[in-house]
Amino acid sequence: MELSERKKRILTAVVEGYIATAEPVGSKALAQTIGCSSATIRNEMSELTAMGYLEQPHTSAGRVPSPAGYRLYVNELMEKQKLSEAETAAINEKLARKDEQIEKLMAEVGQLTSSMTQYPAYALTMKPPVAVKRFDFIYVDANTFIVVALLTDNTVKNKLIHLPFSVHQEQITTLSSLFNANFTGVTDREITDSIIRSTERAAGDTYGLVAVVASFTMECLAAARTAPLRVAGQSRLLDQPEFRDPDKAHALMSFISDGSHLMDDLPPAGMGTDGVRVTIGPENMAEELKDSSVVMASYDAGDGMRGYIGVVGPTRMDYSGVAAKLSYIAAGLSRMLAGTDAPRGLDNKLVLKESGHYEQEGREKE
Amino acid sequence: MELSERKKRILTAVVEGYIATAEPVGSKALAQTIGCSSATIRNEMSELTAMGYLEQPHTSAGRVPSPAGYRLYVNELMEKQKLSEAETAAINEKLARKDEQIEKLMAEVGQLTSSMTQYPAYALTMKPPVAVKRFDFIYVDANTFIVVALLTDNTVKNKLIHLPFSVHQEQITTLSSLFNANFTGVTDREITDSIIRSTERAAGDTYGLVAVVASFTMECLAAARTAPLRVAGQSRLLDQPEFRDPDKAHALMSFISDGSHLMDDLPPAGMGTDGVRVTIGPENMAEELKDSSVVMASYDAGDGMRGYIGVVGPTRMDYSGVAAKLSYIAAGLSRMLAGTDAPRGLDNKLVLKESGHYEQEGREKE
DNA sequence: GCTAGCACTCTTTCTATCCGAGTGCTAATT
DNA sequence: AATTAGCACTCGGATAGAAAGAGTGCTAGC
């Protein structure tokens, strides 16, 4: 059933009021903004409460949005916020390090997200399976050689291998061609014992050399796929009034700091509108997040790699502002990563608009 | 001036009582343990207060140790604690991953320290300057090659270099010999512009190829020296009653999470007894740590590398227990790292005893 | 030099009370 | 039929005062 226009406005006002003040919102406060008397608003609010969009902490306190209320707000009511010039400038400046090491940038994306939103943030990159494109074996000395593996995602891994016995240059060369023949183009799951064994036979390897290099290979491939998840700005949680209770804060913080839990919850559902997904309170799977909300955005990291950034906060979260910021950052990352490596035929402007309608033009001050 | 035996016992009891309960310690509570009446203890305590070893939060609360009191306790009074079997076993088990990747182990040392002590912990490794031992250039295709640098610490770094123009195999080979001639055996600070320029001339390099590889080299060397500092278990701070005030907790946590501040404070003074250093409250340089204590231990990471682990907590910290644990962990790390790579002529047992007197034998339960 | 006793201080806790914000309902108004 | 004004009622939060308790400092006696 569709809500009347006025109910929507009231719900919106309650949500935004509560977000801003962390205090239950009363009818009197809304009378002016809505443009009718407090009694009318009371009636409306009481209906909204019956419908499950609002809640009362107790009789005779104002109203507070229920999870359903937040949901409706996020889905339909929320105004897309534009970022201020200062904000876009700050983000752009950070992202402008494009030329510098992407690795480092990625390590700082969490920091950036957290500092822009003022909530704890996390960032992770999901990669598709990779394979080794080619191996090179560098002969260092009789007991030492280096394996260099160039992966399909153009990263390079290496390992120094030190042997308790000596090898000849030719043995290394043989090993090299065998590995290039047998271990390239396969993902970590496709490396079977039988391949290893047959390579061992072909190399006449009795020292387990093949096994060592093969396990290094598998490690590389697994590591390249595994998402390194970074959490940043945990302590900002303590800024939120709902976490002034140290026990609550503690519980959520230790949950957050072990990123693995967050990951479980992340990729399941597809992204909503604008590539931003909002999960409100009880919608979260994890028990520890039942009173919190998670906002996440995904970005295209090129080559089919999909990255995620997100923030965690109380259900009373500035969804609109956070969504705008995440969206903008995600769009910037997509542009940078996908744009450089594998242009998607979208210029910057387009990517921005597509992914969020949070263009940076417009100069509201606030 | 030397304290009487009884004063020492009283001070010890106050410190340990306060550590255990976080409540000011009164005279009555001590009467039994010390073995004289509360009035006597009051007199003694009042003298200890005058001497600056104890403090009163207000008239008619018990006494609390002052920083000087803690200092005295740590330096002279504190009993060296032995670890329980369970504790040593837990630590040993974690450290037993020796064979696995040292890198990962190091990343987890912070976690281990934090979980053993129940305080936030950090871990960092300081390395001496390194140089490149040898370069290898792998020719991939006309536009691409890989630089592999074997460093003096036997780690290997690499970089895939993609060019907007094509190069011949021979050019790469030339580059390789030039780099091996000019850029090996020098630390990052010793790489000057003039070396780069002369190499450029020798290579007839007009595309800035040399510059690219040289900057990669410097990056590697700098990165190998730079200490990666990890902080773990921040949220445990909230377990401490003194940080139930969210503002205090927040202040310290954000200070801690940016590891760079911690580093400033670390290496200055040499380690005290047992390789464990305790810095109490106002002894800390950083303003944010004036109400907190830092306990740190250093370990020998081999090859002149020196690592540090430490914990941060309230001044009311279990110095004795923490020192024992840090010492044990540090000894274990020294043994592992220095023991494997560059034996120092100390067997495990010896290292343990030398660095801490916290042997693992003895079977107290508690 | 130690101890018992006592008055005093200061915090903590409890209780009772008050206050006000906000509701829900009813009756009047448009 | 929708809106508004008015009013009694409720409940949490703040405030103040009282009581409790813990611990000290001091004095006098052992």
CATH of the domain at A95: 3.30.450.40
Query: Where does residue A363 rank: exposed (0-12), middle (13-18), buried (19+ CB within 10 A)?
Result: exposed
Please check whether residues A219 and A335 belong to one and the same domain: no
Q: How far is CA B5 from CA A119, B43, B66, B342, in A?
A: 53, 15, 19, 46
Sheet holding A132-141, edge to edge: A132-141, A144-151, A156-162
The one-letter code for the residue type at A38 is S
Residues of chain B with pLDDT under 50: 268-270, 272-273, 340-366
Q: Are B356 and B274 in contact (CB under 8 A)?
A: yes
Reported pTM: 0.77
Residue A142 belongs to a domain: yes
* Chain C positions with any atom < 7 A from a protein CB: 2-5, 8-11, 20-26
CA of B325 to C1' of D23 (A): 36
Of B225, B241, B270, which residue is a domain's last? B225
Tokens 């909300």 belong to A293
**Subunit contact A160:B155, Cβ cutoff 8 A:** yes
Please check whether residues B247 and B118 belong to one and the same domain: yes
What confidence tens digit (pLDDT) does each residue in A126-147 have? 677 788 999 999 998 888 898 9
Interface with B, mutate which of A101, A118, A148, A156 (most B CBs under 10 A):
A156
Q: What is the pLDDT of residue A102?
A: 66
Q: How far is CA A318 from CA A65, A89, A310, in A?
A: 13, 20, 13
Please check whether residues B231 and B221 belong to one and the same domain: no
Please check whether residues B182 and B325 belong to one and the same domain: no
Closest C1' nucleotide to B42's CA: D24
**Subunit contact A156:B160, Cβ cutoff 8 A:** yes
Please check whether residues A157 and A304 belong to one and the same domain: no
Interface with A, mutate which of B101, B235, B288, B340 (most A CBs under 10 A):
B235
Please check whether residues B123 and B169 belong to one and the same domain: no
Q: Which residues contact A309 (CB under 8 A, 6 or more apart)?
A: A109, A110, A113, A121, A122, A123, A124, A296, A297, A298, A299, A326, A329, A330, A333
What confidence tens digit (pLDDT) does each residue in B260-312 have? 777 666 554 445 445 788 999 899 888 889 899 999 998 887 666 778 899 99
CB nearest to B136's CB, from A138, A150, A234? A138
**Subunit contact A160:B158, Cβ cutoff 8 A:** no
Mean pLDDT of A342-366: 32
Smallest CA-to-CA distance from B343 within B316, B307, B308, B303 is with B303
**Subunit contact B246:A250, Cβ cutoff 8 A:** no
**Count: domains in chain A:** 3
- Contact of A176 with chain B, judged by CB distance below 8 Å, is answered with no
Residue A363 belongs to a domain: no
Calculate the CA A153 to chain-centre distance.
20
**Whether A39 CB is under 7 Å from strand D:** yes
Residue B311 belongs to a domain: yes
CA of B100 to C1' of D18 (A): 67
Q: What is the pLDDT of residue A219?
A: 84
Q: What is the pLDDT of residue B119?
A: 95
Residue A361 belongs to a domain: no
Q: Range of B48's domain?
A: 5-77
Q: What is the pLDDT of residue B244?
A: 83
Contacts 24+ apart (CB under 8 A), B312-315: B312/B119, B312/B120, B312/B121, B312/B122, B312/B237, B312/B252, B312/B256, B312/B262, B313/B119, B313/B120, B313/B237, B313/B240, B314/B240, B314/B242, B314/B243, B315/B65, B315/B67, B315/B70, B315/B280, B315/B281, B315/B291
**Whether A40 CB is under 7 Å from strand C:** no
Percentage of chain A with pLDDT > 70?
Answer: 85
Residue B132 belongs to a domain: no
What confidence tens digit (pLDDT) does each residue in A233-254 have? 988 998 888 888 888 888 899 8
**Whether A159 CB is under 7 Å from strand C:** no
Of B173, B208, B225, which residue is a domain's last? B225
CB nearest to A234's CB, from B155, B158, B257? B257
- Contact of B160 with chain A, judged by CB distance below 8 Å, is answered with yes
Please check whether residues A257 and A311 belong to one and the same domain: yes
Please check whether residues B122 and B10 belong to one and the same domain: no
**Subunit contact A146:B146, Cβ cutoff 8 A:** no
Q: Determine the Cα–Cα distance for residues B172 and B145; give it in Å rounded to an integer.
A: 8
- Contact of A323 with chain B, judged by CB distance below 8 Å, is answered with no
Contacts of B257 in chain A (CB under 8 A): 233-235
CATH at residue B143: 1.10.10
Q: Share the mean pLDDT of chain A.
A: 81
Mean pLDDT of A187-191: 82
CA of B211 to C1' of C1 (A): 83
What confidence tens digit (pLDDT) does each residue in A290-331 have? 889 999 888 887 666 778 899 999 999 999 999 999 999 988
Closest C1' nucleotide to A62's CA: C22
Please check whether residues B120 and B248 belong to one and the same domain: yes
Detail the DSSP E strand segments found in chain A.
54-55, 64-65, 121-126, 132-141, 144-151, 156-162, 229-232, 276-280, 292-300, 306-314
Please check whether residues B102 and B157 belong to one and the same domain: no
- Contact of A234 with chain B, judged by CB distance below 8 Å, is answered with yes
Q: Determine the Cα–Cα distance for residues A58 and A44; give it in Å rounded to an integer.
A: 18
- Contact of A173 with chain B, judged by CB distance below 8 Å, is answered with no
Query: Where does residue B38 rank: exposed (0-12), middle (13-18), buried (19+ CB within 10 A)?
Result: middle
- Contact of B340 with chain A, judged by CB distance below 8 Å, is answered with no
- Contact of B222 with chain A, judged by CB distance below 8 Å, is answered with no
| pLDDT of A19 above 90 | yes
**Subunit contact A140:B150, Cβ cutoff 8 A:** yes
End-to-end, the C-alpha distance of chain A in Å comes to 35
pLDDT band at residue A271 using 50, 70 and 90 as cut-offs: low
Q: Determine the Cα–Cα distance for residues A330 and A310; give it in Å rounded to an integer.
A: 10
Q: What is the pLDDT of residue B342?
A: 34
